[in-house]
Amino acid sequence: MYKGYLIDLDGTMYNGTAVIDGAVDFIDRLNEESIPYVFLTNNATKTQVEAAQKLLDMGFDIQPETLYTSSMATAAYLRETAPGASVYVIGTDSLKGTIEASGLTVTDSDADYVVMGLDPGINYEKLSKGTLMINAGARFIATNPDKKFPTEKGFVPGNGSLVSVLTVATGIEPVIIGKPEGIILESAVSALGLPKEDVLMVGDNYDTDILTGINGGVDTLHVNTGVTPKEDVEGKTHPPTYMIDNLKEWSVR
């Protein structure tokens, strides 16, 4: 069996504020067997601590350092490729704080980079500023490409849907940091300290979670509790390594 796990959050552990049946038990079983795991999430609206606190409040027995978000990966990417750069951020205060903590300058004008994460307060002014800066030469980065994500009420627009506005307006495709891109996967696998063949990627979204594993050489487990329906997954040319309806079905040993 696998010696380490990369685990998605939205649609895999919870939908909005509702815990998915079997998710807490799954984490408890990993803890009991001392199997390491990293929560690999495209959600860039929260800091590592905030994302961990949501899980703790839901009854998950986890440590904050097990969280690796697309906002953390974005900040790391910018820190390595453009230290000290100025960044216009379309996103939450948590995303801005994560980027600032990496030594980058967050600004509202003449930025070197435009970084876009899911912003519940999105408006025309923010989209216009981003468009103007990209057209003026700023590089365009998207924390993640998710077109939608599940809540307790149903599916709502994700960051990818909003990123498409700037892509259409500028003709520029962004550098995507989150799943299914390899940038975030390599960082998470490194955190586990295991070879890829010993790691399993667990998620509900074929286009992000499962393709992350397929593209990056990591086995995948699709759980039919979120974005991609079972019927759609079954029709894919490159299927996941495994598919289950509920995490209760999966044995960690």
Tell me which residues are annotated as active site: 8, 10
148 annotated binding-site participant: no
146 annotated binding-site participant: no
179 annotated binding-site participant: yes
Query: Which of 183, 147, 153 is closest to 167 using CA atoms?
Result: 147
Tokens encoding 66: 């097990």
Beta bridge partners of 68: 40
CB 224 within 8 A of CB 1: no
108 annotated binding-site participant: no
35 by Cβ neighbours in 10 Å (0-12 / 13-18 / 19+) ranks as: middle
Binding-site annotation: residue ranges for Mg(2+):
8, 10, 204
Binding residues for substrate are 179
Annotated binding site: 8, 10, 179, 204
